[in-house]
Amino acid sequence: MRAPLIGEGPSESLIVRNERSELSRVSGWVHAWVRRHRLPSKLAQILDLCTAEVVTNIISYAYDDNAAHPISLKLSIDEGRVSLEVEDEGKPFDSGQVAAQPSPLSLEEGRIGGWGLRILRHFASDLRYRRVDSRNQLTVFFQLPGPTPH
């Protein structure tokens, strides 16, 4: 059992609607992709979590209307890392620039929500954002574990 070779570049895409009921489909897709590429289960959990946070953010904040909008997802492997590309047609939102929720000092202080960005930045090795033709294009990179030294 080995990790895919660098540069093999297998990738797959999924398009979902901006509805919370789609989150289970997103999770199933992530886990199936990781299994297919024989990547570590820890990476599956991290990808699952981070994909859920990005998609939840889009569902929650990207649109002012109640219409259905597509969210495009793509996973690929290249040069020792996994990239998750997420595209939506919502309001401009640069996950790399927006301030993450600070840690709460006590139960009485601080907001109750807004943890997604902090989680994303912790687990991702890099985030890249572009606004192209009225679409948000976010790419989140995750470092694959290297060979264990002996």
Residues 14-53 within binding reach of another protein (CB under 8 A)? 20, 23-24, 27, 42, 45-46, 48-49, 52-53
Q: What is the rounded distance in angstroms from the CA atom of residue 14 to the CA atom of residue 16?
A: 7
Closest CA to 58 of 81, 26, 13: 26
Please say whether the beta carbons of 44 and 84 come within 8 A. Answer: no
Minimum distance between the CB of residue 22 and another protein, rounded to whole angstroms?
10
Minimum distance between the CB of residue 137 and another protein, rounded to whole angstroms?
22
Of positions 115, 129, 139, 141, contacts another protein by CB under 8 A: 115
Q: What is the rounded distance in angstroms from the CA atom of residue 104 to the CA atom of residue 121?
A: 17
CA 25, 8, 81, 145 dihedral sign is positive
- Using CA atoms, how far residue 119 sits from 1, 47, 56, 89, 136, in Å, is 30, 11, 13, 23, 20
Of positions 116, 124, 127, 138, contacts another protein by CB under 8 A: 116
Minimum distance between the CB of residue 146 and another protein, rounded to whole angstroms?
20
Closer CB to another protein, 66 or 103, in the complex: 103
Q: Which residues bind another protein (CB under 8 A)?
A: 20, 23-24, 27, 42, 45-46, 48-49, 52-53, 56, 101-108, 112-116, 118-119, 122
